[in-house]
């Protein structure tokens, strides 16, 4: 780590699986480092699920990635125990009156694990896989939240998951002061509960079920995986596949979300951590 800079730890939960999420995060962190003249930005990656690596609590900002499989895969394993211990320490640090806060963003798989940890809702398997670029609807809290400033309502996000967060525990949310920020797309033709797609636990801790780091190239990468391409065409047809390609290339969908959410989170944290009059 580097003194006099904002130090960011990326917690990799991909378990060694091929992915675009880490590349997208690396690109965004490089851009954050290059764009800020007021404060230095340094970052490190930690292979948590696959290699058991974990950052210590001395970092300023933590970004916890998506990943494959069930959000319960780590139960009973050392890496999950250590991961939850770190989340607990970050939360306790922020609640104990420390003037220098710690900031953490949870993405997809990490979001589901965070919901488990805090007991905010039920985390259950979906009836079928969600894959695509979908509209996300802000709640009243989400319309006021700085995380979504600059995004339309609804806005669009990349969504790849077999699990979902439903049945919010309203009592626990109220106890923590946590807020649901956005919900799954409206689907009046199906009898399923809409999933929770983003939660702010506190001013410093927030997470999304969708992938805000995803850029058009990363979504196209998924579309060009032979198994994925064939499955989409078999289930929904070539017209749906082409629609996904068009959505990915639309500047007002994932590209806009990618430009706003993670960079905004980093900028917000940097301002709080290194307040400078000229910011």
Average pLDDT of the chain is 94
Domain boundaries, the chain: 5-125+135-151+161-214+257-273
Does the structure show a pLDDT above 50 at 163?
yes
For 253-257, what is the mean pLDDT? 97
Query: What percent of the chain lies above the pLDDT cut of 90?
Result: 86
The per-residue pLDDT for range 109-147, each reduced to its tens digit, is 999 999 999 999 999 999 988 999 999 999 999 999 999
Does the structure show a pLDDT above 60 at 256?
yes
Q: Which of 80-89, 175-184, 187-196, 233-242 has the lowest mean pLDDT?
A: 187-196
Give the model's confidence band at 275: pLDDT under 50 very low, under 70 low, under 90 confident, else very high: low
pTM score > 0.75 for this model? yes
Give the model's confidence band at 3: pLDDT under 50 very low, under 70 low, under 90 confident, else very high: low
Beta strand ranges found along 113-233 (DSSP E): 122-138, 155-166, 179-183, 196-200, 205-208
CB 42 within 8 A of CB 60: no
Residue 215 backbone phi and psi in degrees, to 5: -110, 170
For 187-200, what is the mean pLDDT? 90
Which residues pair with residue 157 across a beta bridge? 134
- If one counts every other C-beta atom within 10 angstroms of the C-beta of residue 15, the result is 18
Contacts of 202 (CB under 8 A, 6+ apart): 91, 94, 176, 177, 178
CA 8, CA 94: separation in Å to the nearest integer? 17
CA 246, CA 37: separation in Å to the nearest integer? 36
Could you tell me the two tokens for 78? Answer: 């050392």
CB 173 within 8 A of CB 119: no
Q: Which of 51-60, 98-107, 187-196 has the lowest mean pLDDT?
A: 187-196
Q: Which of 21-35, 181-195, 200-214, 242-256 has the lowest mean pLDDT?
A: 181-195
pLDDT for res 279: 36
pLDDT for res 278: 35
CA 131, CA 150: separation in Å to the nearest integer? 25
CB 6 within 8 A of CB 42: yes
CA 210, CA 252: separation in Å to the nearest integer? 16
pLDDT for res 2: 59
Q: State the pairing for strand pair 196-200/179-183.
A: antiparallel
CATH architecture assigned to 5-125+135-151+161-214+257-273: 3-Layer(aba) Sandwich (3.40)
Task: Using alpha carbons, select from 79, 83, 81, 101 the residue that is nearest to residue 92.
Answer: 101
The per-residue pLDDT for range 55-94, each reduced to its tens digit, is 999 999 999 999 999 999 999 999 999 999 999 999 999 9
Give the model's confidence band at 277: pLDDT under 50 very low, under 70 low, under 90 confident, else very high: very low
């Amino acid at each position: 780590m580097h003194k006099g800079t904002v130090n960011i730890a990326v917690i990799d939960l991909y378990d060694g699986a091929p992915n675009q999420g880490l590349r997208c995060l690396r690109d965004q962190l490089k851009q954050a480092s290059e764009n800020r003249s007021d404060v230095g930005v340094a970052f490190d990656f930690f292979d948590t699920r696959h290699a058991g690596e974990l950052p210590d609590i001395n970092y300023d900002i933590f970004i916890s990635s998506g990943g494959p499989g069930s959000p319960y895969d780590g139960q009973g394993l050392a890496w999950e125990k250590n991961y939850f211990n770190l989340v607990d320490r970050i939360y306790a640090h922020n609640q104990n009156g420390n003037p220098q806060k710690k900031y953490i963003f949870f993405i997809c798989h990490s979001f589901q694990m965070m919901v488990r940890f805090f007991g905010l809702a039920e985390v259950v398997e979906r009836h079928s896989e969600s894959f695509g670029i979908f509209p996300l609807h802000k709640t009243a809290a989400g319309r006021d939240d700085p995380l979504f400033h600059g995004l339309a309502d609804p806005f669009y996000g990349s969504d790849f998951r077999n699990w979902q967060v439903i049945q919010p525990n309203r009592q626990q949310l109220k106890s923590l002061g946590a807020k649901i920020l956005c919900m799954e797309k409206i689907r009046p033709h199906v009898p399923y509960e809409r999933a929770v797609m983003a939660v702010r636990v506190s001013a410093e801790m927030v997470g999304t079920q969708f992938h805000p780091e995803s850029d058009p190239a990363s979504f196209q990468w998924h579309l060009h995986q032979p198994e994925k391409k064939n499955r989409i065409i078999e289930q929904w047809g070539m017209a749906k596949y082409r629609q996904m390609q068009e959505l990915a290339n639309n500047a007002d969908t994932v590209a806009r979300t990618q430009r706003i959410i993670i960079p905004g989170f980093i900028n917000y944290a940097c301002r709080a951590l290194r307040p400078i009059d000229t910011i």
